[in-house]
A and B are shown apart, each in its own frame.
Chain A
Amino acid sequence: MPPPRTRDSRHHDRDHRDRSHRAAREEEEEARERWDWNRPETRRLFEEAFFREEDSIRQSSEERHKFWAFFERLQRFQNIKASRKEEEEEKGPGLAKPPIPALADLPRTYDPRYRINLSVLGPDVWGSRGSDRPDRRLPPDKVAEFRKALLHFLDFGQKQAFGRLAKLQRERAALPIAQYGHRILQTLREHQVVVVAGDTGCGKSTQVPQYLLAAGFSHVACTQPRRIACISLAKRVSFESLSQYGSRVGYQIRFESTRSAATKIVFLTVGLLLRQIQREPGLPQYQVLIVDEVHERHLHNDFLLGVLRRLLPARPDLKVILMSATINISLFSSYFSGAPVVQVPGRLFPITVVYQPQEAESLAAASKSEKLDPRPFLRVLEAIDHKYPPEERGDLLVFLSGMAEIGAVLEAAQAYAAHTQRWVVLPLHSALSVADQDKVFDVAPPGVRKCILSTNIAETSVTIDGIRFVVDSGKVKEMSYDPQAKLQRLQEFWISQASAEQRKGRAGRTGPGVCFRLYAESDYDAFAPYPVPEIRRVALDALVLQMKSMSVGDPRTFPFIEPPPPASLETAILYLQDQGALDGSEALTPIGSLLAQLPVDVVIGKMLILGCVFRLAEPVLTVAAALSVQSPFTRSAQGSPECAAARRPLESDQGDPFTLFNVFNAWVQVKSERSSNSRKWCRRRGIEEHRLYEMANLRRQFKELLEDHGLLAGVQAATPRDSHSRLQQRRERQALYQLKRQHEEAGGRRRKVLRLQGEADGGSSDEDAEGTATREAGDSVDIQDVKFKLRHNLEQLQAAASSAQDLTRDQLSLLKLVLGRGLYPQLAIPDPFNSGRKDSDQIFHTQAKQGAVVHPTCVFANSPEVLHVQEPEARDKEGSRDDKDKMSSKHQLLTFVSLLETNKPYLVNCVRIPALQSLLLFSRSLDTNGDCSRLVADGWLQLQLVDSESAVRLLAAALRLRARWENALDRQLARQAWRRRDHRDEEEEEEVAESLAHCKDVVALSGELLQFMASKVSYSLRRLTGLETQNLYVGPQTITTAPSLPGLFGSSSLSPHPTKGGYIVTDFLTYNCLTSDSDLYSDCLRTFWTCPHCGLHMPFTPLERMAHENTCPEAPPDGPPGAEDATPEVPQKTSALQRPYHCEACGKDFIFTPTELLRHRRQHM
């Protein structure tokens, strides 16, 4: 090996000690004094000489800065050393005689340079590079100096990187699970299923995938219950496995995937894996499946286990690792026929448990005020201040049941903190903005502790370092589904022992800790051992739908690890039948199979499909996305009048989905304006921008789904017309990618030091605003904005948003109709006395729940008057303040997305809809009296119309419109199924023709629907009392006047209703089944009437008259409002209106149109 060709000039000095050289040296010294390394020009010269153009040091300003800083430090250090060295060199003894020849050629004199294992080429040795001559402006000794610095810089970099590598491996080796890696792999070789049980901190989630990778497995999937865990684990594992900048480790979640062909391990959500199984039941793409956090017993995880248990015999080569905390391990092991368990001890420091049950007075205070008493919590803060010196670090984590409780303690704790200056109090729950959630990771200044008030989110989802104290209230609020009341209920429960242990464990992650339990040990002993699995407490309709679409058989007999309550299953099946997703035999309908593929609520899915039918895809996409994410309106802005004022122009008095629609569209407009700052725009309006990003992502996903399923024609990306703008667009994207890369290089968000309360004079809201401001200054790139612009076609979005502003009133009404039908039967009726009440006392009733209120964020909470029946409309001369019997054509109902019960039952995301028309179009069950002037919808809402003529007209129109709407939907679904297949040319032509016809029909249908919605008929609306619903129907013993009217109701055959009485007209309409105390026979009273069109003169009941008018072949095309649209269709429909009739009087069978029938019957009178 040749010696390094580069030598530092200074070490040759010894050879130049004679006079002539000294003169030269003095000259040199002089030049050196004039030499200035700090001149940018000098630096640039050297950079150009030493670094290649694509070199990272030359390219990245950060690298350059680092190098020159290092250079300056080194020079200072060298100057000090140089003066010392000269003395030392005199007495330098040199080396002892080496005993081994291999050591003989070691340099005799020590120099740090010899300890560096690399060498840098530079301009003076570039000889091989051809004509390049060393730059004359670079003096050789300066070149040497620079080279030496560079050498040390590179060596330093090597040492640093290697140090990180070694540290990483040390930490991995120190994890408790490291001892078990071999055993896990060995067991997996011998068995198909292995259970790895270990507590938080043992490292199973990060290490097991890496053991598999190291053992040569290459198709590994690891499921996580939460999306956020997929991302963070993929990041951590790729970092630890040294492929941070490679693609061996990836993740796949609903909107994002970093997966590529080179990916060997993918972290994905359970839901996504289930969808993969749905597509490919054998799951051929994976060799090993890790199912993490099985002990959490999420709905989908439980289902996945059942699916896997069935799949395994068919895939003997597929390996499965179930990972669990050390909870109920035998359950999982025995479910997979005694799968072996590898149990790993956790790494927890000892934790002292202190039981501090709340005293009776505190409990009494709490029950009286319904507000949590914060005193027991403050006592813990005091105790900590009293017992532990502030220099001993360690933060406090308090587990509370919900946001209200957090609020109560926050207030008191902040007052205490302001007084002692020893605490920073921070809330943590899922409704906080992302930035506020992130604050819990910031560090408190010295001598001050963090006090984090959290929901159970910190039990498993969020891990905060440095916690030494835990306060456990023992309570949790969980969403439970009440199938009877059809509502979600947020209720407070005692936690399980498993949760209590989990909470306690949070105190011992970084050192010995203390856990204060605000309950008695006897309480603890009475806790359930484990939390109630999700399958036992939530609505199961999404699960049942998915099961149906995966053809796993009857959900009632599916081998769940623990079966759900049979009642929940039945409710879910009924609900899906109600929604039209399952048919009578519980098989998937076409719309059901489509819904199963849309990863959304059935209700939202229906909306999307209906929207496509009416060419309203773009607005419906936005609304559906908006309704599928958490509300973007921040809580903190609730009380701010500025926010409310800024938000007002976006509010729609039609309902919350329309407000959200406006917000999203306005935001997209802001985004597409080059100079504007959407972050600021959102903050000013009290909007959590993160939720809007989520909406954009969901919207895009919905759109792709609809396109994939042939419901929406794929749109070609709008390509800019000329090459100039194409180029410009490409440049912009490149710039965005560059920004994203830089952000990732910088490592994202850094921890900050929290400020003490009151330091910046004041309340938390001040602190809030400033906190975000400084945050932004530190991070000038809005990375969310960059990602958004990279992910979405902003031009397309903006086009959709601006066309939304141009939506006509008709389109808006149609949109409302689509929402209404999608949301049906989620309806509420305003209480009749609302107009006489305060805004805050407005109540509403659903079929199952009385006395619900609109959510405070709801637009109707502030302007309830739009729901009241306007006074001028009222014909009620009595001047009564209630709307119950008020005759009006403007009664309205609320349709809502969800009913959520916390301290009150809240209607969330409401839209107001006209009552009569909506009920006629949507009801599952419509019952009438004899002249149809009285209608009962779904057995709970009664409509009393002013006159039976208009009633019959509207009813007839509704029947037709419903049939045509159904038909349009069927055709849309059929075309969707058709588009997904391959076709011959002639078929394509047929399709085009059919498509055109369909299109025309839909336009006509839309027009008629709108006309129908606008029809003005006075009626009263009320909710039936319990007693009334019991005595609603006449029952099977019915009067036989009805069969004379079939023509009114289209082409269905009439048969008596077995239970209600009256006659079944369609699957939803039962005629004349309502009991009536007054006019039982009114429908039989006939008066003579002459048809103005055909001249027919005979006695008619009002109903018969309508029936004739409706079908009179000579009626002009323009009939009375509401029913007129039917007339043009009569000629073609004549035959359809004929039906068999058996005449009791003459004992013969006929086929009659209704008019013929009337004529015939007259003969017998």
Chain B
Amino acid sequence: MACELEHGPPGVFECQLCSLTAPYSYIGQKPPDTESVILLEESYIMKDPFTANKDRFLVLGSRCSLCSRLVCVGPECSLFYSKRFCLPCVQENIDAFPREIQQDLEKRKVPAKKPVNKPRP
């Protein structure tokens, strides 16, 4: 799956944690129709559905660099710190992350308990 240059909707992205789904149009590091931006991870990308601008893209998610689970970029599911980590993996290795991130996760724990958007087991 290394730098596929796919256009059109080749498939549907689904987060393995929160099951958010959306059709993606491209997987890779170089979003189509943009020249000045490169992505630092292999990402699932769709055209930004909220704007008419064709050159705006939206990163949906990518694979966790530890467990290679497909996760969305939502803060409930994953974080990026020079690489993508799913939150379960971060929790497991919390000591390996800087204090700022640890604090961030602490703060996040409260709203994460909302009934909607519960991670699927």
Contact = CB atoms under 8 A, between A and B. Distances in A.
Contacts of B79: 115
A744 B50 CA distance: 12
A165 B66 contact: no
A748 interface: no
Contacts of B100: 110
B59 interface: yes
A1 B96 contact: no
Contacts of B65: 102
A165 B55 contact: no
Contacts of A863: none
Nearest to A117: B80
Interface stretch (A238-246, A360-368, A879-887): A238-246
Q: Which of B49, B50, B72, B84 has the most CB atoms of chain A within a 10 A radius of its CB?
A: B49
Given A121-B35, A121-B38, A56 B96 contact: no
B40 interface: yes
Contacts of A105: 82
Interface in A1-17: 1, 4
A51 B37 CA distance: 10
Given A161-B48, A165-B58, A245-B51, A106 B82 contact: yes
A1048 B121 CA distance: 97
Contacts of B46: 242
A757 to B, nearest CB: 38
A741 B54 CA distance: 14
B98 A118 contact: no
Given A158-B58, A162-B73, A120 B36 contact: yes
B74 interface: yes
Interface residues of A, number: 49
Contacts of B73: 117, 158, 162
A170 interface: yes
A56 B56 contact: yes
A100 B96 contact: yes
A113 to B, nearest CB: 9
Interface in B99-116: 99-101, 116
Contacts of B43: 117
Interface in B16-60: 20-23, 35-41, 43, 46-53, 55-56, 58-60
A1143 B46 CA distance: 96
Nearest to B79: A115
A169 B40 CA distance: 26
A1146 interface: no
Contact of A110 (B22, B37, B98): B98
A96 interface: yes
B58 A162 contact: yes
B39 A244 contact: no
Contact of B38 (A52, A95, A110, A119): A119
B117 interface: yes
B75 to A, nearest CB: 8
A1 B40 contact: yes
Given A115-B80, A116-B80, A245-B52, A102 B66 contact: yes
B116 A170 contact: yes
B81 A115 contact: yes
A98 interface: yes
Contacts of A745: 52
Interface string B69-100: 00011100001111110000000010111111
A110 B98 CA distance: 6
Given A54-B55, A242-B23, A119 B37 contact: yes
Contact of B96 (A51, A99, A744): A99
B41 A117 contact: yes
B96 A106 contact: yes
Contacts of A993: none
A103 interface: yes
A354 to B, nearest CB: 33
A121 B29 CA distance: 13
A1120 B120 CA distance: 97
A106 B21 contact: no
A103 B50 contact: no
A155 to B, nearest CB: 9
A357 interface: no
A50 B46 CA distance: 23
B34 to A, nearest CB: 9
A348 interface: no
Given A55-B55, A161-B58, A166 B37 contact: no
Nearest to A243: B49
A117 B84 contact: yes
Interface in A145-202: 154, 157-158, 161-162, 164-166, 169-170, 173-174
B45 to A, nearest CB: 10
Contacts of A245: 47, 49, 51-52
B101 to A, nearest CB: 7
A122 interface: yes
Contacts of B66: 100, 102-103
A107 B82 contact: yes
Contacts of B81: 106-107, 114-115
A165 B49 contact: yes
A51 B55 CA distance: 12
A96 B96 contact: yes
Given A99-B96, A110-B101, A161-B50, A118 B38 contact: yes
Interface string A58-100: 0010000000000000000000000000000000000110111
A117 B96 contact: no
A174 B35 contact: no
Contacts of A121: 35-38
Contacts of B95: 96, 99
Given A102-B66, A161-B50, A162-B73, A117 B36 contact: no
B22 A165 contact: yes
A166 B101 contact: no
A154 B37 contact: yes
B20 to A, nearest CB: 5
A1080 B40 CA distance: 109
19 contacts: A52-B36, A56-B56, A60-B53, A95-B96, A99-B93, A100-B66, A100-B96, A105-B82, A117-B41, A117-B43, A120-B37, A161-B58, A162-B58, A165-B49, A165-B58, A165-B60, A166-B20, A245-B49, A741-B52
The 9 closest A-B pairs by CB, nearest first: A242-B49, A110-B98, A56-B53, A103-B96, A98-B96, A117-B80, A110-B100, A114-B82, A96-B95
Given A115-B79, A118-B37, A173-B117, 17 more contacts: A52-B35, A55-B36, A56-B51, A96-B96, A98-B93, A98-B96, A106-B97, A117-B41, A118-B40, A121-B35, A158-B59, A162-B58, A162-B72, A162-B74, A174-B116, A242-B22, A242-B46
Interface of A: 1, 4, 50-52, 54-56, 60, 95-96, 98-100, 102-103, 105-107, 109-110, 114-122, 154, 157-158, 161-162, 164-166, 169-170, 173-174, 242-245, 741, 744-745
